[in-house]
Amino acid sequence: MSATRRAFLQTGMLSAAFIGSSVRLGFADDAAKPLRIGILIPGSRADHGWMESAYNGMKAAEQRYGSKVVITSIENVKFADMEQALVTLASKNDMVIGAAGQTQASVLKVAKRFPKVKFSIVGPTGQPTDNVAQYDVLQAQIGFIAGAVAALMSKNGAVSYVGGLEIPAIVNTGTEFANGAKHVKPDTKCFVTYTGDFDDVAKAKEATLAAIAQGADVHYNILNLGVRGMEQAAREKGTKMIGSYTNYCSDNNPLYIAYTVSGIGFMVEYAIDQAVAGTWHPEYKQFGLAMGPRSADIEICAGATPEIQARIKELKDDLLSSKIKVKVG
């Protein structure tokens, strides 16, 4: 073989080796790139409720995965502005999470414009599409138990519920709250009201005062900032509350006799976990009691008798076995 031929072959082999090395480095670089995640939290993360739970789930995932993820969020967005906020997030991220049911319509619309972006919606009932997963919190399940606990701990035999928007998931929770109360004490009076706004403090206070005037002494809610109005009413009239979304018994707030857990943050973490693991896929997934206490639970802060605790366990078991059926959606 001539010297020229040998030089040519050696050069070609070196070039091929370099190209192969470059390709491998390229793949390594791609693998090392952090997963970019955008989260739309439509309300205030200081609501001590749904939005705060979503924010806490985001921060927990951020801490757990470190440099593997870059998470950005947009908060306090009015319904009319949600679509534009989602477009902003989808333009810059691999995954976008709508962290509340009121984002559903906008997410489904924007997802069609960004087919390569993964979208997850926390809260609603709905079927998945090509690039959208929907996670159902099943609030009605824990609402049923909250109603039962309210009835068991009411001194007056009267309880109340205030919801925000009059949409299926919120209405079903109110219905099942009343059903739970009457399941354990059929003569319980139940007052159910919707303010039309999760954050309207004045309307939530007005609704709670109206229920108190009719004898209600234990109150439950599906609200965000509006819960402050309920607290004002309960504080003024000496009644009690069951909190929603997160267990804050450790705060020792004398207004609250119990807290339900509706794992909004847990669902946000679930979406991120799936994306990081490479197992994310479009799905409709129900959470609720079947997914464990981080997903759905109730904690009585003080005054729970062994009989009440036993009744709660019985109700959980009956809901899980479908002996008791609640409305979902």
Q: Look up the CATH architecture of domain 34-137+266-286.
A: 3-Layer(aba) Sandwich (3.40)
87, exposed or middle or buried, with CB in 10 Å at 0-12, 13-18, 19+?
middle
pLDDT at 20 over 80: no
**Among 157-161, 236-240, 244-248, the least confident range:** 244-248
CB under 8 Å, gap of 24 or more: what pairs does 233-236 form? 233/204, 233/205, 233/208, 233/209, 234/208, 236/209
pLDDT of residue 31: 58
What's the pLDDT tens digit per position in 101-126? 889 999 999 999 999 999 999 988 78
Neighbour count for residue 270 (Cβ, 10 Å): 23
What's the pLDDT tens digit per position in 267-279? 999 999 999 999 9
The average pLDDT across 95-101 equals 96
What's the pLDDT tens digit per position in 298-322? 999 988 899 999 999 999 999 999 9
Task: Please tell me if the domain spanning 34-137+266-286 has the same topology as the one spanning 139-262+291-320.
Answer: yes
The average pLDDT across 283-311 equals 94
Instruction: Give the model's confidence band at 4: pLDDT under 50 very low, under 70 low, under 90 confident, else very high.
Output: very low
Taking alpha carbons only, the member of 50, 84, 43 closest to residue 268 is 50
In the chain, where are the structural domains located?
A: 34-137+266-286, 139-262+291-320
Q: What percent of the chain has pLDDT over 90?
A: 82
**Among 58-62, 164-168, 173-177, 314-318, the least confident range:** 164-168
Domain 139-262+291-320 classified CATH 3.30.413.10? no
For residue 90, give both structure tokens.
């989808």
What average pLDDT does the structure give for the chain? 90
Backbone torsions φ then ψ of 40, nearest 5 degrees: -100, 115
